[in-house]
Structure formats: structure tokens, C-alpha cells
Chains A and B, each alone.
Chain A
Amino acid sequence: MTFAALQEVVLDPSFPELDLALRRGRHVDREDLTWYALLTDAQDHLEAFYRRYGCELVHKADGYFYLLPTGEKLSRRQLGAGDMLVGQALALMYLDPATIERGGRVTTEDVVAQLVVVLGGDALIRAFNPKRKRIDERVAQKTVRTKVADGIRHLAALGFVDLDDEATLRLRPALLRFAEPVRGLSAPAEALAKLVADGEVALVEPDEPEVVEEAAEEVDEPVEEDADW
């Protein structure tokens, strides 16, 4: 189905829910069948529509859409350091053939194990307990598990994963966004600079994560406030 005018798109029964989801940072892929079909069919109209709000409706070749604020009319947020670690670990698992065997299903424990393999146990504890000077191992490990679970829940709300139940999740294609800086043939620093210029990512200073992490514990801090939509 194609839409002749924006009015027809707005009158589609799925539009209000889809619009709210996109404005709240949801990534929409083929598994969101109705939303994805609407976005594909009305892509031209919706790109122009959201541009008026200072946003880009991004459609990646991996098969997912999301809204990226480039102006000041719609709030723009960035993921906290903990969510970024979890997201990159999930993206790594998405690329792993071992995940194929289970149809893309992994457990929270698998995610923690993946982080331990790549970062090492101590670095992982330090990454998730940046403010603590004296670290009790048991408490720190519990904090890591809790923050990984929080990160997964947050990423699920943004459409990066699906939560099957408390402990199992299904990986979705939008996770490849975490691998964007290293996907191309160009050097990662160059690719990252381009992504920053496009507003896709924001650079984090080496001593900044602690501050961001603390602020991002409940909800990520908005970079810009005062949405007027």
C-alpha cells in the first residue's frame, strides 16, 4: 500500500502509536510488522514530516528505522556508559554464530559472561562501580549484574532487544548500531568523526563516564530539554 498524501499516513490506525514510539527513541525493525510496513510505505512523507520537527527518520540497510533529533525541537538523549557497554556486548553476541543455534536468544548471564570475556572481571567491576573507592567484591559483582539487567531493560524499551522473560532476551538487528564506528572500511576514528558530525553519536571524554553513569542511573540525561512538539 502506498500513501498519496501525508494526511492518509496520519489517519492510519497504527500511526499514533508508531509516532509516539519513534519520538521516545524506539528502533523499529521487520519484526514490528505493522509499524515497519507503514514506515516503508510512507517513508517519503514521514521523512519530510519529521524534518519539520528537526529530526531525521533514519532507515538503515540492516532493516530498521529510528528517529534522530538533529535540531532543538525534539529532546535528544544519549545512552549512558553502562548501557553502551551492554549494547556493545549484545552486538558482539549478535555477530557470534553460537547465537544462531538458539535463534538469537541469549540470557542475562550470557551477557555478563561476554563482558567478562572481553573486558576481564576487574575492569568490568570498575566500569560499573566507578564511584566506589573500596570495592567489596560480592557487592560489586551484584551491582554489575543489576546494572547489566537495567541496561538490558532500557535497551529493550528502545527496540534493541526483546525481553522474552525475566532472564531471556532476543537480539534484534538494531544492535548493529553499536558496531557502526567499526563497520566500514575506513579507520574507526574517521568513521566515528563522521557519525559525530551526523549527530548519530556523541563522544565521551575518558574521565566523563563516571559522571554520565551516575546521572544515567534512572533515566539518561537529556542533552536538550524544552521539547515543543
Chain B
Amino acid sequence: MSARRHPEQIVAAIGELKPSLELGPVDICFLVALQVKADAASLTSFTEQQLEDVFALASAAVQPEADQVRRRATHAIQRLRAQRLLSRVDGQGVVRTGEFALSRLGSAIVEFYLEEDVLTRVSLGLLTNSLRTAIADVLATARVAETPEQWRDGVAGPLAVSIAELIAGIERRQRGLDFQQEDFQAEIRRLLEADWFGALDRCQELLESTSATLHELNEVLLRDGSVLLGLLHDIEELAVAANAVEAETAAHRLMDQIDRSAAWGAARQRAWSEYFQYVHRYLRDVVRLDPTRALTQRLRDQLAGLGQKFALAYAGAPPIRILRTVATPRDRAPVVRPRAPREKDPVAEAPEDPQALLDTKVRRALDGGAVALSSVTSEVTAELAGGERFLEAGRIAHTVAQLAHAKADVERPWVAVGDLEIEDWRLSR
């Protein structure tokens, strides 16, 4: 659901909760120890005593000299509960001592540190096989689904939950592999710093093993990705035909996720290939040719100004000059002074009386047989612009009252004249 909301909305909603995490090394080790202990002993929850024992274990590893372990365990449990990393699962309150389990957030933090979720050819192969089987089952259900309930429970539900979880598992392991690669890059650096020439073989091994892994993963992602996309496409088509919007959306979203996973494979392989070439060149041109690492020191001395200064020479041909086409300038007309007088003499003209003009028009309308103010107004204002018509309507009424007898009832009707509405009068001469 959240994927369809705007990022701003999501961030604002989470911001309102004022979330914060504050974990020290002991807290993190405590969480990890809980997870490891639960896995080893198949525990679904811990009693308070078990929590304290596990904390003592973590504390002994991280802070062996620290005392008051029980008191610090109480504080640590309280801290983890306040940060929703550990939750009480028995619901008994004060009736009896509680049972606790790691929350989803706590488990996620532990997973990050355990680094077990690194994508390998085996884990990817297993995941894609499970995905293929699960999606094929959903497709079979979609083919026979008839009612909206069947579409929701048999198709949209599994797509949105179980299959999405499997794909999320691949993505999580991809992130694990990203971290592992970062570690490899740092390790190559550490190896070279520690044992310059002696680290060559180990660096070579690291580079080649990662390259092979990425190559294999990319192959699996591309091959199985197209099969999975084909199955999901069939489900989407069936959902469109059955007007099952929820299933269609879920299938579409999963197709996006699979595309993203395949794109990850291609992008990582490209990036690694660039890195691979760089390091190989470095090992060949720098490490092999300078086994005693004397070059760095000599270059450092040279840069520090010991010895004769010099400058590298290089070819510096100027760009080709492309000359512009010569255009003959046109002769400009000479500047002259006008000889005719600029100002004309005023001419007397007869004034125009607007009221006399209006009188003539109104009289013409009345002579033409108009028997109502609306008819006169309509005829006289016919040629006027919209804005002038309103002003002229008042003057027409005034003129009509002078040139004709107006008879008005107590209730005078309102009559539309173009875009105006006026109170109408009956007229006689």
C-alpha cells in the first residue's frame, strides 16, 4: 500500500512517530546473541531469566570487566523494549513473569550483522525455483478462478504476500552481496598495504572468485527472470480479462521487482568489470613493476621538490580555423530632416451632440412602431459593444420618457434585451 503513496507522505507519516534508535555495541551483541540462541535451541520466546543469561553472555564478550551484570541486563532489556526491538509476547501483564521475542525491527538488525543473507548461486537457484513453483501454482489457480473471492484469496493474496516475500528475499541477499563486495574491495586494499608484492596472488583470487560469482548470478537472474516474468505476464492477462484489479496490480508490482533484480545483476556486473580491469591493471603495471614499492617514495620526493623541476611536453595543435563567409554590408540610407511642417493647423468642425443623435435614433424606433421600452432599447443598442449597452440603456429610458408617454403597471415585468434585463414600459405617442 505504501508503495503507491508519495514519498513525502510516507516520510511525513514516519516523522510524526518521531522514531529514533540508539544502540551501543552491547545492545547489538545482545540482539545477535538472542537470535543465535533462539536458532540453536529452537526457541520462539525467552523468559526473563533467559534474557538475563543471554545478556550476561553478550556482556562478557564485549565488556568483560563490567560488573553489576544483572542490573545492566534490566536496563538493556528496558532500552530494547522502549525502542521496539524486543516485545513481550505472553500478554499476561503483572500476573506472571513475561516472555519476550525479537520484534521484526530487531530481527532485521540482527540479520544485517549476521551477514548470512549473501546471494550465492545456490541460494539464488533455490529461491528462483521456489518462485517458479509458487507462481505456476498461482497461475493454475488464476486459470480456474471465477468469483472475486477466488481471485482475492487464490491469486492476489499469494502474489502480494508469499511470492513478494520470496522476491524480497532475493533483494535482501543482493544487498548482502553488495556489502560483501565492499568488504572485498577494502580487503584488497588492506592486503596490498600489508604485504605489497606478496598480496598479488590473494588479490587475484578475490577478484576472480567475485567475478565468477557475479557472472553466475547474472546468468541465473537473466535466465530465470524471463521465465518468471512470462508466468506473471500470463497471470496479469487473466486478471485483466476477469477484471480482477487487485491481482493485476499485484502481478504488475512483482514484474517490476523482478525487473529490478535483473537490472541489479547487470549493473553490478558492469561496475565490477570496471573495478576488475582497474585493479588488474594496477597489479600488473604498478605492483609487478615495482615490487619493492620504491616508486611511490621516489615520486613523493620528486613532488616535494627534490631534484630538477620539469614539465611534460605534448602536442598542442590549435583548432582548425573556420573562416566566416564575408557578407557585403548594405548601404544605409543617409539621415535626413523632414522638410514638410510637422504640425497641422487646427480645422473648425461642428460639434457632435450625443443626446441629439440618441433622440433621432429613439424617434426612429418609435416611428417604426415600437410600443415597449424593451423594443426601443433593443433596436437602439443593437450595434453597440457589450460594455456600452448598459450605460446607453439608462439614457434611452430617459429619452423615451421625454418623447413618448410611458405607461407602467405597479408590477413592471423584467424583459431580456440581449445580455441586459430591463423593467419594461408600454409606450404610446
Contacts and interface: CB of A to CB of B under 8 A. Distances in A.
A187 to B, nearest CB: 10
Interface string A190-205: 0010011001111111
Nearest to B312: A79
Nearest to A101: B189
Contacts of B317: 23-24, 74-75, 227, 229
A89 interface: yes
A69 B315 contact: yes
A128 interface: no
Given A103-B274, A181-B302, A189 B312 contact: no
Contacts of A75: 315-318
- Say which size band chain B's interface belongs to: 35 or more
B316 A178 contact: no
Interface of A: 22-25, 30, 55, 61-63, 66-69, 74-81, 84-85, 87-89, 91-92, 94-98, 100-104, 115, 118-119, 123, 158, 173, 176-179, 181-183, 188-189, 192, 195-196, 199-206, 209, 212, 220, 222-223, 227, 229
The 9 residue pairs across chains A and B that have the minimum distance between CB atoms: A77-B316, A182-B298, A25-B314, A97-B192, A23-B317, A78-B311, A101-B189, A204-B309, A88-B303
Contacts of B112: none
Given A97-B192, A100-B185, A118-B303, A62 B285 contact: yes
A61 B316 CA distance: 23
B224 to A, nearest CB: 29
B282 interface: yes
B313 A76 contact: yes
Contacts of B302: 88, 179, 181-182, 188
29 contacts: A22-B315, A25-B314, A30-B277, A61-B285, A63-B281, A75-B316, A81-B309, A88-B302, A95-B290, A95-B295, A97-B188, A97-B189, A97-B192, A97-B193, A101-B186, A102-B185, A103-B279, A104-B278, A178-B312, A181-B310, A182-B298, A183-B289, A183-B295, A192-B307, A201-B311, A202-B313, A203-B310, A204-B311, A227-B318
A133 B311 CA distance: 25
Contact of B315 (A67, A97, A189): A67
Name the residue among B193, B278, B299 with the largest chain A CB count within 10 angstroms.
B299
B133 interface: no
A68 B313 CA distance: 7
Contacts of A204: 309-311
B147 interface: no
Contact of B314 (A79, A179, A203, A206): A79
A75 B298 CA distance: 31
A92 B296 contact: yes
B274 to A, nearest CB: 6
The SS class assigned to the B binding surface is helix
A165 B125 CA distance: 38
B371 to A, nearest CB: 85
B279 A100 contact: yes
Contacts of B295: 95, 179, 182-183
Contacts of B313: 68-69, 76-78, 199-202, 223
Contacts of A94: 286
Given A100-B189, A103-B278, A192 B308 contact: yes
B179 interface: no
B312 A177 contact: yes
A196 B286 CA distance: 24
B394 to A, nearest CB: 71
B336 interface: no
B300 interface: yes
Interface string B178-213: 000000011011001100000000000000000000
B275 interface: yes
A77 to B, nearest CB: 3
A177 B312 CA distance: 8
Given A101-B186, A119-B305, A25 B300 contact: no
Contacts of B296: 92, 95-96
Given A66-B314, A95-B295, A101-B188, A206 B309 contact: yes
Contact of A100 (B192, B307, B312, B315): B192
A32 to B, nearest CB: 13
A201 to B, nearest CB: 4
B203 to A, nearest CB: 9
Given A101-B185, A173-B281, A92 B299 contact: yes
Contacts of A79: 311-312, 314
B299 A182 contact: yes
A55 B315 contact: yes
A229 B312 CA distance: 22
Contacts of B279: 100, 103
A203 B309 contact: yes
Nearest to A94: B286
A190 B275 CA distance: 36
Given A182-B301, A202-B313, A212-B311, 6 more contacts: A75-B318, A95-B296, A100-B189, A101-B185, A199-B313, A227-B317
Nearest to B283: A100
A80 B315 contact: no
Given A100-B185, A173-B281, A84 B304 contact: no
B304 A118 contact: yes
A78 B315 CA distance: 9
A76 B315 contact: yes
Nearest to A220: B316
Nearest to B199: A97
Contact of B298 (A104, A188, A227): A188
Contacts of B318: 75, 227
Nearest to A209: B309
Interface in B304-332: 304-305, 307-319
Name the residue among B188, B278, B296, B317 with the largest chain A CB count within 10 angstroms.
B317
